């Protein structure tokens, strides 16, 4: 258990918590698919980062922001639905990302490499998590109102489009700085699963949002706690921590199904 282990641990906790929190807002109809595949749009940026030795989080962020702006502009300019546009940009990113990313790094880009988390990454992740948490908290109840009824939200002066865009940027930030934990494939699970667990168990928004955070954090802790045993048994490398965190959250999900329906 060296310093780098603790650095990864702290990063995973903060990213896990905030990913759960923003994920709980993904209840919104249109946003669920969009947010789900958004993390894959990071791939070309990660590839470029690896090629040119730039921090992959920054590469991922640039790629995500570019992707979101592209989707956003197209959805306003064309009659196409956001879902299909996201689909197109998603496969575009995947194809380009695959071509760009050095082959021996591809697996890490897709599934994460938590051992690559450096001190600066951890500091950035903690900082970004806090900012994203605060921003999401501010837009939370307005997003929820829009989910209950878009008309009511609009009539109450909520600029739904604006909030959706802010929300996408928040997800982009979480994905970019969580990419070393879960890669492009598994980071979306860190966003989706805790909220699904919380939804099974909560009766109101307060419980729901806090539980989402807590399940995210608990999954990270459980992942790190279980890893040494699994590593010893199956000879796993540290890289496996990311997928184990996801598996832990799935275990929570299975348990939450038992609590479902009071």
Partner 1 sequence: MDFQDNQNLIDNKEEKLLEPVVIAPQTIIAPRHPMSGKGGELILEVKNLTVSFGEEKVVDNLSFSLKKGENVAIMGPNGAGKTVLLKALLDILPYRGEIKWSEGVKISYVPQKILPEKNLPLSVEEFFKMKKAGREQAKEALASVGITDERFLKKMIGTISSGQLQRVLVAWGLIGNPNVLLFDEPTAGIDIGGEETIFNLLNKIEKERNLSIILVTHDMSVVYGFADSVLCLNKKLICYGSPSEALGSEGLKKLYGEGVTFYKHEH
- The residues of the shown chain that bind partner 1, judged by CB under 8 A, are 27, 141-142, 144-145, 147-152, 154-156, 198-200, 202-208
Burial class of residue 233, CB neighbours in 10 A (0-12, 13-18, 19+):
exposed
Q: How far is the CB of 211 from partner 1 (least distance, A)?
A: 9
28-46 burial by CB neighbour count: b if 16+ within 10 A, else e? bebbebbbbbbbbbbbbbb
Q: Which segments of the chain does DSSP mark as H helices, in order? A: 3-24, 29-38, 43-52, 56-77, 82-100, 103-111, 119-148, 150-155, 160-201, 205-234, 241-259
Pick 7 or 158: Cβ nearer partner 1: 158
Residue 192 · residue 23 · CB < 8 Å = yes
Pick 78 or 207: Cβ nearer partner 1: 207
Q: How far is the CB of 27 from partner 1 (least distance, A)?
A: 8
Q: How far is the CB of 71 from partner 1 (least distance, A)?
A: 19
Tokens of 259: 């609590």
Pick 20 or 49: Cβ nearer partner 1: 20
Q: How far is the CB of 30 from partner 1 (least distance, A)?
A: 10
Pick 26 or 124: Cβ nearer partner 1: 26
Pick 29 or 95: Cβ nearer partner 1: 29
d(CA 49, CA 39): 16
Which backbone phi and psi does 130 adopt, to 5 degrees? -65, -45
Pick 208 or 253: Cβ nearer partner 1: 208
Count Cβ atoms below 10 Å from residue 130 Cβ, excluding itself. 12
Residue 193 · residue 253 · CB < 8 Å = yes
Pick 73 or 207: Cβ nearer partner 1: 207
d(CA 124, CA 118): 10
Q: How far is the CB of 253 from partner 1 (least distance, A)?
A: 14
Kindly write down the DSSP assignment for every residue of 169-237, as one continuous string. Answer: HHHHHHHHHHHHHHHHHHHHHHHHHHHHHHHHH-SSHHHHHHHHHHHHHHHHHHHHHHHHHHHHHH---
Q: How far is the CB of 77 from partner 1 (least distance, A)?
A: 15
Q: How far is the CB of 187 from partner 1 (least distance, A)?
A: 24
């Amino acid at each position: 258990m060296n310093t780098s282990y603790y650095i990864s641990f702290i990063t995973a906790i903060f990213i896990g918590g905030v990913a759960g929190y923003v994920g709980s807002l993904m209840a919104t109809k249109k946003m669920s698919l969009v947010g789900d595949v958004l993390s894959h749009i990071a791939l070309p940026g990660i590839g470029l980062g690896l090629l040119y030795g730039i921090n992959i989080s920054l590469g991922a962020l640039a790629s995500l922001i570019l992707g979101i702006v592209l989707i956003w502009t197209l959805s306003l300019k064309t009659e196409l639905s956001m879902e299909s546009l996201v689909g197109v940009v998603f496969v575009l990113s995947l194809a380009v990302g695959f071509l760009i990313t050095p082959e021996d790094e591809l697996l890490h880009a897709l599934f994460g490499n938590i051992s690559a988390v450096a001190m600066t990454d951890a500091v950035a992740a903690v900082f970004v998590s806090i900012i994203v948490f605060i921003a999401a908290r501010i837009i939370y109840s307005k997003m929820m109102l829009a989910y209950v009824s878009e008309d009511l939200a609009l009539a109450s002066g909520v600029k739904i489009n604006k909030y959706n865009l802010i929300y996408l940027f928040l997800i982009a930030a979480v994905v970019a700085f969580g990419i070393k934990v879960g890669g492009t494939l598994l980071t979306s699970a860190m966003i989706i699963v805790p909220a699904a667990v919380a939804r099974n168990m909560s009766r109101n928004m307060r419980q729901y949002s806090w539980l989402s955070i807590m399940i995210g954090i608990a999954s990270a802790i459980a992942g790190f706690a279980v890893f040494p045993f699994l590593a010893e048994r199956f000879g796993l490398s540290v890289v496996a921590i990311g997928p184990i965190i996801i598996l832990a959250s799935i275990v929570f999900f299975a348990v939450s199904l038992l609590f479902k329906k009071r």
